A and B are shown apart, each in its own frame.
Chain A
Amino acid sequence: MKLLGADDRRDMEIHRYPLLVYALVPLAALVLQAWLPRVLGRYAFFDLPLVVTIYFALGRRSPIQGTLMGAAMGLFEDALTHHAIGVNGVAKTAVGFIAASTGIRIDVENHAIRVILNFVLSLLSSAIYYAVSRGMLGLDLEWNWFTQLFIAIGNAAIALVLFPFLDRLQIRD
């Protein structure tokens, strides 16, 4: 893993996308996340909004944009459940911030690093969700870490395919 200095960071390319991509890709992720479990049943081990949040946070390398995008995606996901609105929001806000901050310091063009980052950040998101639900809110929530592990693996696998596809959509000078 290559650590970058300040000069390298200055020269690093910020990924830019058409406005339509910023609007449609997160929306598609949210719609598919809501629709695919109806088709796949209990085997829907993935979190597409989280993958998209990580992708844009890593590509834009802006902690503020990563934070805001994570918050928006998380709140949207919460709104579709019957749980409290904000639990996913807090988790994905933190993940968006961490992913963007990581993208500043690490060369994230490498596919292997992206996959590992997705796996780790997915588990981190689950851990934050659990901590907020149980520790902060004191809700009576039963938890299955194996399911979260499968979701992290699923996210990493999806990132392996989705990230190169989304890279093609970026604006190149």
Chain B
Amino acid sequence: MAARGQKAIDPDGGYYTDIIRVFCFAPDSASFLAVESFFTRYRNLVVLAAVLVVQIMGLAIQVRRFGSGRNSLDVRDGSGVRLIRLWAEAVVSPFERGIHGTGQGAFWLWNNYADLRNVRQQNQQLKQTIDRLRLEQAALLEDARQGERLQALLNFQQKYIYSTLAAQVIGSSGSELSHVFYIDKGENYKLKPDMAVITGNGIVGKVRDVFPRTAQVLAINDQTSGAGVILQTTRIRGILRGDPSGRLMVVGVLSDERIQPGEAVLTAGGDLIFPRGLPVGVVDKVVPDPVHDGFIDIMVKPAAHLDRLDEVMVITSTQPRFNEQEQKDIDTSQAEKGADAQAIQNQIRDQLKASQIMAEHLPGLMVPNLPPDQQPLNDTSNPPLVTPPPQALHPDRFTPGNAPGPPGDASGTTSPVTTSPGEQQKQPKPAPAPKAPPQGNP
């Protein structure tokens, strides 16, 4: 046994410099020597076990068992866990900001120099584009307002994007099993968890955790992610999530032959995170669900480049009506392009009026004031309409109705169709049959 402070060789082969005497045993007691011998001999294993036990206890605190028997992590981190994440982020993010800022600076310098050569021409093109878009905006204004009125009638709260905040992606989790990334805006920009993160191409993810100067975003292709989506054409709904390889898939869909590759996938709006109608991607292929019979997994090609994200937008607020900026744009459009827009609106109004007049003059199959089950088209109480046969200009005995009847038929006519007295009165009387020439005359 080595003395205190003496260098010794570990029986396992390693070196150590000092034997640390702990516990409250007397230095010369036999029990102390036994414990010291044990810790000396198995010091490496004891340290390993202690470190592992501490970590496992920490894991046990973070995992919760649900009633269904499945375990899951808490959606929101506890204060201790969040503190560790905060420290880690505080250590890493300044370096990430530095690397990102340096790269962006060099890119900005070079890009601006190159762009300045064509900026005048681009400015002209952009002005023309703005003029055209203002005209289109004014033309679409009425439709949008009408849509709002209809939604109000249906008591449906459509969420429009009210305001967004541009942010730069500065880092990732570094693990292929955790598809999260960090953006350079946090509590200092009043970001909150569960805010939707998008790009111009489509949705990207949602804010999971917010730190003082950064925020952690959970990408939509993570296994634990989830978003309500709807297929644009077939209107089939499902849940969007990621697979272990980071690919997007829609799960929980019953097998349906109508789903074809190329169909657009949009947000359904039911998850209270992503506004309705934002692009998600397109259907790549359909594969059977390996677990559930009769269900399929729809592999989705994302609209946004999830692997190469540089700039994203955080939807900081949604609003059921036009916001101030949009209203200002609309007013500007109407003021500047009022005449053109008015002409378009007048043209649309004239077309609508013409179609209404035509509808009034045409025999209507649909009466606007009647419910659908009482429409004339569906009304079975009326007798079927009978079209009278065309009348001959010069009736003779071959004309329908003038043929001689069977013996005993005094009228000498057949009347297969029942007509109302009025109709009989309206029907022109058949011309008298030409008299037969006298026979037997010399």
Instruction: Name A residues whose Cβ lies closer than 8 Å to a Cβ of B.
Output: 6, 9-10, 14, 27, 30-31, 33-38, 41-42, 44-45, 61-64, 67-68, 71, 75-77, 79-90, 93-94, 97, 100-101, 104-105, 132, 136-144, 147, 151
Contact = CB atoms under 8 A, between A and B. Distances in A.
A80 B56 contact: no
Nearest to A45: B176
Given A31-B95, A35-B96, A38-B309, A80 B218 contact: no
B48 A44 contact: no
Interface stretch (B155-163, B177-185, B377-385, B388-396): B177-185
Nearest to A70: B51
Contacts of B130: none
A147 B174 contact: no
Interface in B1-46: 9, 12-15, 43-44
B14 A61 contact: yes
Nearest to B172: A37
Interface stretch (B79-87, B317-325, B330-338): B79-87
A35 B223 CA distance: 21
B246 interface: yes
A139 B85 CA distance: 20
A137 B244 contact: no
Nearest to A62: B14
A142 to B, nearest CB: 4
A143 B63 CA distance: 19
Contact of A64 (B43, B88, B96): B43
Contact of A80 (B48, B52, B88, B308): B88
Contact of B59 (A44, A79, A105, A132): A132
Nearest to B247: A42
9 contacts: A9-B13, A33-B174, A34-B174, A37-B176, A63-B12, A77-B174, A82-B222, A86-B62, A147-B176
A36 to B, nearest CB: 8
Given A45-B176, A84-B59, A104-B13, 10 more contacts: A31-B96, A31-B99, A63-B47, A68-B47, A75-B55, A81-B180, A87-B59, A93-B48, A138-B71, A139-B63
Contacts of A87: 59
A10 B63 contact: no
B413 interface: no
Contacts of B92: 30-31, 34, 80
A86 B56 contact: yes
